[in-house]
Amino acid sequence: MDITDLTACELIAQLEQRQLSSSEIVDAFLYRIKHLDSRLGAFLHVDEEQARRRAAEVDRRRQAGEKVGPLAGLPIAIKDNICTCDQKTTCASKILANFQPPFDATIVRRIREADGIIVGKTNLDEFGMGGSNELSAFGPVRNPWDPDRVPGGSSGGAAAALAAGMVPLSVGSDTGGSIRQPAALCGVTGLKPTYGRVSRFGLVAYASSLDQIGPLGRTAEDVALLLEVLAGHDPRDSTSVPGGVPPYRQLLNNRPEGIRLGLLVDQLGQGVDEEITQAISEAAKVFERLGMPVIEIGLPHHHLAVACYYIIATSEASSNLARYDGVHFGYRTDERAMEEELAQERRLWAEKGLAALPEEPDPPIVRLYRKSRAEGFGPEVKRRIMLGTYALSAGYYEAYYLQAAKVRRLIRADYDQAFSQVAALIGPVTPTPAFRLGEKIQDPLAMYLFDAFTVGANLAGICALALPCGQTRSGLPIGLQLQGPPFAEHVLLQLAYWFQKETDWHRRRPPLTALDRIAAGRGDTP
Amino acid sequence: MRSLAGSPWFGTARKRRGVVPQMSIAPEEVRKVALLARLLLSEDEVAEMATQLSRILAYMEVLRSVDTSQVEPMAHPLELVNVFRDDKVRPGLAREEALKNAPKHDGECYLVPAVLGPV
C-alpha cells in the first residue's frame, strides 16, 4: 500500500484503527515532496522538522488515549497568501519575500486546534492575480499530469501538491476561480464556499468583496472533512456569517434524490473544447441516472461576467494593495540610490523642465513609495493596480466601476432566477484543459477570458465546486463545476459525493511517466 | 435558449481583436494614473501599459451593451450594514511585533525620508 495514494478520510480511518501512525504518514508525504517538488514548484516553504515533531506529538496523545481533533495527524498545505505565525507568508511576491506575520489566520488556528499538521506553504500567482501560476515571483508551478503544462491558478501549488500526492489536503483561496480552476486542471476536488462561510481574517486581501478561502482534496468527502474545520463565524471578520456549521461529512450520506439540476448549455459548444463539452454532457447523464432530472438553463448576463469581474476585482485590488508602501513592512527600495537619482532629476528639471523629464520629480517620500512598489510588484500586479486605479479615477468611475457594480446585480439576479428553478447548476470550469507554460503569458486578456465560467460565482457570492469528470484523449483532467445558492455547500458536496460513487475520475493519478519526468529533472528517482 | 451566435463567451474578444480599440489611453494618462497608484514606470513600461490597458478597456466596453438605468449597484454579496463589536478594551499588537517587519525603524517609530521634500 502506498500511503500517499490514500484519501484524507481513509488515512483518518487507518489512524483511528492504529494501522498507521501520523509519523509514518507525514514521512511518506514529506518523502514525496522531497523527490518531486524541486521540479514541480508547488511549495514555497516546507517545515519538515516541525511537521515531524507535531506528528510525533499527535501519535503520543493518541497512544495515551487523549482526545484528538478531526484532522489529527494529517499533513495539510496552506496557500502562501494565508498568514502563519511560524512560517513566512510571501504571496509569491518579492514585496513580501521576507514577511513573517505576527499572527495566524483564523483558519490556520482552526486547523491547528483540529490537530492538523501544516507541512508548508504553497505557491500561487502573485497575490492571487493570475490563472496559470506562471506569475509567481518565485517561479512557476508545473502540472503533475504534464510538466510542460500549467497547473492553473492562482492556487496552482495547492492543486498540484494534491495531484502529485504530496499532501492529502490543502487550503486555497478563490477570488475569481482560483480554487476551482486549478482543481479542474489538476484533476482534484475544490470548493469555493459562499461568501461569508469561512473567515478571511489573515487572508492577504486581493479583492475583499470576492475573496473566499476554501478546501481542496481528492474527494468530496475529504473536502467536506476540511470545510467543517474551516467554516464558521469569526468575530475578527465582520463579513463572516454568524450561526452554526452543518455536519457536512455526515450529510453526505443523504442522497439528494428528486432535485432538479440545470445544465448551463451556453457554456458548452462554441469556444469550448469539444472534449469538455462531451465530458460535461456525460456528467449530466450520471446525475440523471442518480435520479436527478437535468434541464437546460441559461444565465442571460453571464457573457458580461469577465468584464464585470476585472473592473471590480482590480478596483478593489488597487485600494487593498495601497498598504505595500515600503514603510510598514515588506520590500523597500535602496534609499541612497533613490536620493541620488532624485537629486539628479531635480537638477535636470530646474535647468530644462519638461524638455528633459516627462514629469516633475516627486517629493522623496512619494518616490520611496513609487520605487519600492515598482521594484516589489510583478508586471501583472502592476497592470491590475493600474486598471483599478483608472476605473476608480475621476471621470471614469461611473463608466467603469459603477456600471460594473450594476451589472454585478444583474448577474446575481440571473443566479437567483436560476435557483428558483433548480437546486444547482452544472457546467464546465474552464473552456480548455491545462494549456502550455508560456502560451498565454504575453496576452493578459486571453488569460482573463480563461476565467469566463468561474468569476460569476464570486461576483454573486454563491458557492461553487469543481471536481474531475473526465480526461482528454491526451490524458489531461477535465473539471465539472457545480454551482449552488448561498450556503448550499452541503448540496454541492452531496452531488459531488454521489457522482464520485458512480465514477472513478477522482481516483486517477498522474501517469508515472509524467512524475518520472518531473523527478528526473532533479537527477534522482524515488 | 439564447443564441450562441450573438455574444458568446469568447466571440466578443475575438471580434474586437482585429479592430482598433475606440478606447485608447494616452501615455500622459498612464503616467497620471501611475502617480495616483504610487507606481513608477519606465518610458517603455508606459508605452506597453498604454497598449495593454487600451486593449483591455476596449473589451470592457461590452459592459455598456446593457441598460442599467433601473439597476441599483451591488457593492458586496452580503449587503451587511454596520456590524458592531462590543466596545471593550483588549490587547492590541505589541510595538515590537508591529515593527518587526518594517524595513527601517528606530525601535519606536517607522523611519521614512523627508516628508516635506527638499529644503
Angle at A169 between CA A222 and CA A137, to 5 degrees: 145
Give the tens place of pLDDT for each residue, A337-361: 999 999 999 999 999 988 888 889 9
Share of chain A above pLDDT 90, in %: 93
CA distance A302 to B9: 8
If pLDDT is split at 50, 70 and 90, which confidence band does B23 have? low
Task: Indicate the fold that domain A3-302+410-520 takes in CATH.
Answer: Amidase signature (AS) enzymes (3.90.1300)
Q: Catalytic site residues of A? A: 79, 154, 178
Angle at A511 between CA A506 and CA A513, to 5 degrees: 170
Contacts of A269 in chain B (CB under 8 A): 4
Residue B34 has a pLDDT of 97
Q: What is the mean pLDDT of residues B2-26?
A: 48
Helix (H) or strand (E) holding A263: strand A261-264
Please tell me which residue, B118 or A518, carries the higher pLDDT value: A518
Residue A175 has a pLDDT of 98
Least confident of A8-22, A180-194, A461-475, B82-96: B82-96
Residue A524 has a pLDDT of 41
Residue B83 has a pLDDT of 83
Put simply, the answer to whether A452 touches B9 (Cβ < 8 Å) is yes
Does the pLDDT value for residue A180 go beyond 70?
Answer: yes
Contacts of A209 in chain B (CB under 8 A): 75-77
Least confident of A211-215, A397-401, A453-457: A397-401
Q: What is the mean pLDDT of residues A175-194?
A: 98
Q: Does A421 touch chain B (CB under 8 A)?
A: no
Put simply, the answer to whether B115 touches A365 (Cβ < 8 Å) is yes
Q: Does B68 touch chain A (CB under 8 A)?
A: yes
* Closest among A67, A124, A521, A102 to A329, alpha carbons compared: A102
Does the pLDDT value for residue A208 go beyond 80?
Answer: yes
Single-letter residue type at B33: V
Of B38, B72, B110, the CB nearest to A373: B38
Residue B12 has a pLDDT of 45
* Residue B115 distance to chain A (closest CA, Å): 5
Q: What is the mean pLDDT of residues B38-48?
A: 96
Residue B4 has a pLDDT of 34
Contacts of B27 in chain A (CB under 8 A): 358
If pLDDT is split at 50, 70 and 90, which confidence band does A388 have? very high
Q: Which residues contact A187 (CB under 8 A, 6 or more apart)?
A: A145, A163, A468, A471, A477, A479, A505, A506, A508, A510
If pLDDT is split at 50, 70 and 90, which confidence band does B117 have? low
Residue A367 has a pLDDT of 96
3-state secondary structure of A295: strand
Residue A394 has a pLDDT of 86
CA distance B21 to A256: 49
* Residue B39 distance to chain A (closest CA, Å): 4
Are A26 and A75 in contact by the 8 Å Cβ rule? The answer is: yes
Assessment of whether the complete model's pTM goes beyond 0.90:
yes
Contacts of A242 in chain B (CB under 8 A): none
Does the pLDDT value for residue A400 go beyond 60?
Answer: yes
The three cell numbers of residue B15 are 471580434
Please tell me which residue, A83 or B6, carries the higher pLDDT value: A83
* Every domain range in chain A assigned CATH 3.90.1300.10: 3-302+410-520
* Closest among A304, A313, A309 to A455, alpha carbons compared: A309
Q: Does A371 touch chain B (CB under 8 A)?
A: yes
Residue A522 has a pLDDT of 45
Does the pLDDT value for residue A396 go beyond 70?
Answer: yes
Domain range list for chain B: 8-66
CA distance A266 to A83: 39
